[in-house]
Amino acid sequence: MLSRPKPGESEADLLHFQNQFLAARASPAVKIVKKADKRKGEKGSTDTERPPLQDSKDVVMLDDFPDTLPALTPAPPKKSKIKSARVHFEDEDPEERLESHDQHITAVFSKIIERDTSAVAVTMPVPTGDPFPRTFHRSEIKSEVKVGSGRKSIFAQKMASRRAAEKAATAPSAAECVQVRSDALDPEGSAGEVPLPSVRGDKAGDFLTSQRPCLITGEGLGSQKSEQEAQAIHKENLEKLQSMSEEEILQEQERLLAQLDSSLVAFLKSRRGGNEGQKKELKMEQNRPEEFVESLPVARHGVGSSLSMQESDLEESVRKEENMKVKFTDDDLPVKPKKEWIHMDNVEFEKLEWMKDLPSPRQKKTKKGMQARFSLKGELIPADADLPTHLGLHHHGEEAERAGYSLQELFHLSRSQVTQQRTLALQVLGRIVQKARAGEFASSLKGSILRLLLDAGFLFLLRFSLDDAVDNVMAASVGALRALLVSLDDEKYLDWTFSWYQGMAAFPFVPNNEEEEEEEEEELNGTEKSQDKKLKDENKPDPDVARYDVVKGLLKTRIQHRLRYILEVVRPVPTVVLDILHILTHIARHSSEACNQLLDCPRLIETIVREFLPTQWDPQVAEPGCLLTSLHGVACATAMKFIRVLASGGRNVTARLLNKFEMKSRLSRFIAEDPLDLLLPREEAIRLSTEAFRLWAVAAGYGQACDLYRDLYPVLVRILQSLPELLSTCHGKSPMIELSVQRATAVVTLLIHVTQTAGYTAELQAKLSSNSSEDSEQIPPPPVAWNQVSGLQPFLETSLKKFLQEVSQTETWQTLQPLTTTYVIYLGVYYSACSQQPSVNPIDCLEELERLTSEVLQPLLSQPAIHSMWDLLRPCSALCNPLSCSPAPESVFSIASLSCTGGKPPLSLVGSKSPFPFLTALLFLINSITHIHKGLTSKYSSVLGFRGLKDYLHQSWQIRPPSVTPSSAWILRHEYHLQYFVLALARRMAGTCPDYAQHASLHHCVAMALLSRLLPGSEHLAYEVLLDLAFNPEFLPEGKAGGPEAADFSDILHLGTSAKLAQPGSAAAFFSKATRGALLRESYQNLPFIRSCYLSHFVHLQPTFMRSQAFYQGRNYLIQSMLLPEVKGPILPSDWPFFPLISLYNKVTNAETRGAVLNSLPLDLVNTVTWNLQWVLLLETWRAKTLQSIPTAAKLARLMCVFLTGSDLFLEAPIHRYTAALLSVYCQPKALDSLNLDAPLPGLASFHDLYISLLEQFEGVSFGDPLFGVFVLLPLQKRFSIHLRLSVFGEHTSILQALGVPLQQFPVPLERYTSPPEDNLNLLRLYFRTLVTGALRHTWCPVLYVVAVAHVNSFIFSQDSTTQETDAARKSMLRKTWLLVDETLKNHLLYYRLLNAESPLGFDLYEQLPPVRLKYLQMVTKENKENALVLVS
């Protein structure tokens, strides 16, 4: 085998190798195959088969070169712009690399074939008298030829202009040059283009003598006779046109114009016309050509005239435009161009237009809205602001005279290919969002900027920008995302309330306005709902998820992975790092699922802990004036806060953080060392220490990290000993003092949770050692005992006494109030746990409580400063001031926010002067003391007597609470704590203090209002209120103080309703008729049974109640998460007093839906309904205002469930009596006035459907019961929907025989049914038909009989102008009434006068018709007779 040439071999060696190859006669590696040339014939033909050309060509052949390029392996690579950056390996053979890039010579050279010039005309040079051809300069030639396509050099343009000028000099006259297109196509229909026989002798007809076509040139035929062929075609076209008439030519022209594309028509026109034609056609193309074609004239004389008019108008408009351009450009050009300047001979005015002076902005007084424009700082620029151009706010977009950028322009700029433009746009958008969230644009702009941006895709614009490779763009997008999601003021107030009572627990930042499709069926339990919802979210696109929950949408885009990459790999500047940590903190507040996703993100937590919570760092960062260029490797308080918020997501998350990510060692590192000794700026060091204590407090809230308590006990004692020193430094306000107080507050909060955890150590140890708990889950006791925490109480109590002495010093007290509040909470927790310890002597505990009461609390309550605190409850209350917790102007439902941007006013619930945190803690301590030591209850009776507290309670329960939003839920939860502790103290005083009765009614109203307001997470409080307050006879003093007798006396004096609905025909007639007072007395005696009934119906809240109980009882080992349940509304519905009845109705309805029939109801169900009705009767009589939030229509709808449940439940005597009593309450004038059945009712999809069910039930099982009949008649009042009356008189007329409610005992005035007169023709015909056919009789249904007679009488005698159909109907109805055989009905319809409740009929009759009616009756009946005579004749 022959070897390949090697480097270093000479040409002689190559020749030697060639001779060896030829001598061996070996077959070559490449076979030469000649490829057919496309210019020579068809594929596959050879040179021998191809006939010789007429004109032989010169062909230059390269010897031994194949026609096809040989296949090179590998193929020659394409050129690369990054060739220099290509990687070369050390072991790569240069020879192989050269071979791989070697190209055959045939890639450069191939056959050279001479071009065929046989058909090209040869022109002789023009003879001149000069010895040489005359030279010319390009400046002598005018540039009049426009470059058609492509770019030409200046020389080429000058040459083209010269040739055009030469052709123009030798061209024939204009009349001879007018030619006709071979296809006779011209949308303008000019006389020179359409061969009309009548004008063939005119100058316009000279086209018939034209010898050259303008469209067909023959160049594509490729032969010598191409021009002859084109001429023949042209001649044939001329002959055909001469043989056609004018009408045929126009018809053919219209047909072709309709078939051809408008762009093709424009092209054909451009082939023919000159400069004017080109201008004209360009103008036509910009407009719609088809509209011009539709307006083509048909008459011959109109063609020319229309053309000339259009041409002249067009030329005039073009001249005007040119004059205008010249007019404003000549004067406005900053520099006058000269002829000698290169490329400046043609001035492009349209490009220089932007150099003019800007027009003045639009004046402010305008009714038209203008587009908002913003400066580079994100500030809104007024519409009439005239800013200088050097600010860089003017550009060449829309409204060039106005400075600033619109949102659309910023969006466009954010996707620019220029890095600086993208960065600037994102920065400006971020500033706009930040200012919008602060409410700076609320009064200036219409609509919400945030909502507009989110709808436009701003969120995903930021998400895409995060993936940008440029650091500046990435940083700008992070800043804008932080401005969109995070409110630093929200975080500030959440930190402020962290140490309040139950302040560590917070609601998740989950939007509560989700889409309707997300609502699940009621049959699914909570777990199935959450799983089904999770599956739906996974299957939805990211934009759909982000539309109702931005954080969830971002998590679907895996934003946590991108943020981890930025922190770990990009390592941005400190500002970007802080923004990322704020974003992650906000995401962690969203939900426990979000916390788990952050925790599961690979290397995210490791990176944050390693880089921003190191145990060692450069000490230079603590030096004054040191400018940090990177936060990596430096401890950061924001990172510690993120870990703390993440730990609030659940006990499992906290356990992983403490153990897997070594947060225990970090806690020890940052807690053991004093903030002054940390190598950080002082403020940052205090913040870091504060967040470390808060993280430890969260862990202790789960019963975790308590082993650190033993290790760091000396540190805690040292800190507690130093806390009284704050008194000497807090006289002036400074950030350092506030930070120190926050740190001290965090320390005490930690001790609160450690004390709670240690309080249950003995109980858990006993359960673990006992044999009875083998079957239950074994919970190990925490590693901290009671004797290890009890020693800190003296330190805290001593500090509390010193701080309480400053309560009268307003400024000092305002600074120390947060710390004092945590002291009081600590004492309450300590004594609650101490009383349960088996190792503590109960007598010693009681003595300590007595000492605390006499030495500390009683003197405190008597101070004037405390009195003023009670007076501040009402001004700072969120219930009394609903606007204080209203959403921010720029809040969007998809981003949860606490609406704290800009800060809260001092006189608000979370303001700096709010008394709520301290008074709540004080009431908590008092309740803990009175719960342990019952004898001290009377010592605190003065608390309930404070006038400020009574005024606050009196107003708070009567005002409708704010709607549930993330902001209102967070604030109201703390206010409800104070109200609960007031009620709990009232419950203890109710049985011990004789003077308490004066407060009982007020406190019961507050308790009833609180039950319908408590939010998820407070189920324990709701249970305690139901158990001890709502049904407590002590809080219903009316039952003992003559309330039933007063009700009877009211009925006797007709102050209420005097209707007695138990009639002889009803089942209640078999029992003694009970007065309302007797019913109230019986209900009052059954309060214990009523309470047990309601508690059993709220058993479905048991799981959430257990979780809530663990929170409020301090059972930290049972707490699963510091995030409260998602808020969608209060725990109990506003109509909870009707809940047993609704539950029973749903149970029976579901059973009937499945096919089961409940023939009889057990006794407990009868008792359940009875107790429910008794409780509602008590509330309606003695606590009517507490039910004002429930519409009267909703109450009636709930009472209808009594008749819809089972078949004969309403016939039970007690149920019948209480239902009748409640109906009499709802039929009072005020209640009837407020009744609105047309408005949507809570919990009811359609009242019409409910009423149809009631009618069907009445038809089946009513037995003519009058009470049931009243419920059927109530919705038929005239002011309610006509569909209800149509249902009775149209589809359910059979019930008219059983609606025997007597008129004298019907509780609703009949005027509500008869006024105003009925105007619906269909219903009037149904009234008349039921009366005439006998379906409606006075003996069967007196109420509806009176109603029908009144409406029919008013209709037949009405003489108001109306439609012809209505007039004919009323005359026909009057005639039929006159012809009735039933004289009684006839008299009633004709002689009806007015309603009379005393009359047996229910109305009075005329003795004789009034003259007007009599005359009208005679006229109508006379017309009837005349018509009859005409028909007879």
Give the 3-state secondary structure of 171-204: CCCHHHHCCCCCCCCCCCCCCCCCCCHHHCCCHH
Please report the pLDDT score of residue 901 as a whole number.
Answer: 87
Residues 777-787 have a mean pLDDT of 88
Taking only Cα atoms into account, the Rg of the chain, rounded to an integer number of angstroms, comes to 48
Task: Please tell me the predicted confidence (pLDDT) of residue 278.
Answer: 41
Summarize the confidence of residues 543-556 as an average pLDDT. 93
If residue 520 lies in a helix (H) or strand (E), which one and from where to where? none
The per-residue pLDDT for 1269 is 93
DSSP 1274: G
Three-class SS state of 841: coil
* 3-class SS of residue 1321: helix
**The pLDDT of residue 625:** 74
Residue 465 to residue 474: CA distance in whole angstroms: 6
Say what the pTM is: 0.75
Q: What is the pLDDT of residue 954?
A: 96
Exposure string over 739-749, b if 16+ CB within 10 A, otherwise e:
bbbbbbbbbbb
Task: Answer whether residue 938 shows pLDDT above 80.
Answer: yes
| Mean pLDDT over each residue of the chain, to the nearest integer | 81
C-alpha torsion sign, points 874, 879, 881, 884: positive
Residues making up the chain, counted from first to last = 1433
Residue 237 has what pLDDT?
Answer: 83
Residue 48 confidence (pLDDT) above 60: no
pLDDT for 517 equals 40
pLDDT in tens, 136-158: 665 655 555 454 445 677 777 77
Residue 338 pLDDT class (50, 70, 90 cuts): confident
316 or 1156: whose pLDDT is higher?
A: 1156
pLDDT digits (tens, 9 = 90+) for 1038-1065: 988 887 888 887 777 754 444 444 333 4
Bridge partners (DSSP) of residue 59 are 113
Closest CA to 1235 of 1283, 1200, 1193: 1193
Report d(CA 1040, CA 1048) in Å as an integer. 15
Whose structure tokens read 């993100």? 601
User: How far is 828 from 838, CA to CA, in rounded Å?
Assistant: 18
Neighbours of 723 (CB within 10 A): 23
First to last CA, the chain: 133
pLDDT of residue 296: 33
Answer for the pair 1223, 1266: CB distance below 8 angstroms, yes or no. no
Tell me the pLDDT tens digit for each residue of 996-1006: 888 999 999 99
- Return the higher-pLDDT residue of 1253 and 132: 1253
Question: Looking at residue 124, what is its pLDDT?
Answer: 65
**pLDDT exceeds 60 at position 174:** no
pLDDT at position 291: 37
Summarize pLDDT for 267-316 with one digit per residue, the tens: 777 666 544 444 444 444 444 333 333 333 333 333 333 333 333 343 44
DSSP of 1200-1220: HHHHHSTTTGGGSHHHHHHHH
Q: Measured on CA atoms in the order 402, 405, 409, 413, is the torsion positive or negative? A: positive
Residues 787/839, Cβ–Cβ less than 8 Å: yes
Torsion of CA 570, 574, 578, 579, to 10 degrees: -60
Q: In terms of DSSP bridges, do strands 1403-1405 and 1392-1395 run parallel, antiparallel, or are they unpaired?
A: antiparallel
Q: How confident is the model at residue 928 (pLDDT cuts 50, 70, 90)?
A: very high
Confidence band of 113 (pLDDT split at 50, 70, 90): low
Q: Is the pLDDT of residue 231 over 50?
A: yes
Token pair for residue 834? 């101490």
Query: Mean pLDDT, to the nearest integer, of 884-890?
Result: 85
Q: Is the pLDDT of residue 37 over 60?
A: no
Dist. CA 862–CA 883, nearest whole Å: 33
d(CA 742, CA 732): 16
Paired residues of 1244 in beta bridges: 1241
pLDDT class of 234 with cuts at 50, 70, 90: confident
For residues 1103-1124, give the mean pLDDT: 95
Whether residue 1014 has pLDDT greater than 90: yes
Decide: helix, strand or coil at residue 710: helix
**What pLDDT does 647 receive?**
97
* pLDDT tens track for 122-132: 766 666 666 76
C-alpha angle 1056/1058/1063, rounded to 5°? 145
Please choose, from the candidates 379, 509, 481, the residue with its C-alpha nearest in 3D space to the C-alpha of residue 438: 379
Does 1085 score more than 90 pLDDT? yes
Distance CA 790, CA 839 (A): 11
For the cut 60, the answer to whether the pLDDT of residue 884 exceeds it is yes
Supply the pLDDT for residue 56: 47
Closest C-alpha among 671, 672, 600 to residue 640: 671
Region 431-449 average pLDDT? 90
Q: What is the residue-wise DSSP string for 858-880?
A: HHHHTSHHHHHHHHTHHHH-TTT
β-pair partners for 1241: 1244
> What's the pLDDT at 294?
37
Q: At what angle do helices 1321-1333 and 1342-1356 cross, to 10 degrees?
A: 120
Q: What confidence score (pLDDT) does residue 1260 get?
A: 87
1330 vs 210, higher pLDDT: 1330
Q: Is the pLDDT of residue 1023 over 90?
A: yes
Q: What proportion of the chain, given as a percentage, has pLDDT over 70?
A: 76
SS3 assignment, position 1048: helix
Closest to 829 (Cα-Cα) out of 866, 793, 779: 793
- Three-state SS for 1417-1432 is HHHHHHHHHHHHHHHH
- For residues 1275 and 1244, give the distance between their C-alpha atoms in angstroms, rounded to a whole number: 16
Query: Does position 191 have pLDDT exceeding 70, yes or no?
Result: no
CA distance readout (Å), 1367 to 589, 1418, 1419: 70, 16, 14
Model confidence at 1210: pLDDT above 90:
no
**pLDDT at 8 (0 to 100):** 75
pLDDT of residue 335: 66
Q: What is the pLDDT of residue 1056?
A: 42
Q: Is 628 exposed, middle or buried (0-12, 13-18, 19+ CB in 10 A)?
A: middle
Could you count the other beta carbons within 10 Å of the beta carbon of residue 188?
20
DSSP state letter for 1057: -
1432: pLDDT strictly greater than 60: no
787 has pLDDT over 90:
yes
Torsion over CA of 460, 462, 464 and 469, rounded to 10 degrees?
A: 180
User: In the predicted model, is pLDDT for residue 195 greater than 50?
Assistant: no
Q: What are the residues whose beta carbons fall under 8 Å from the beta carbon of 86, sequence distance 6 or more?
A: 80
3-class DSSP state of 971: helix
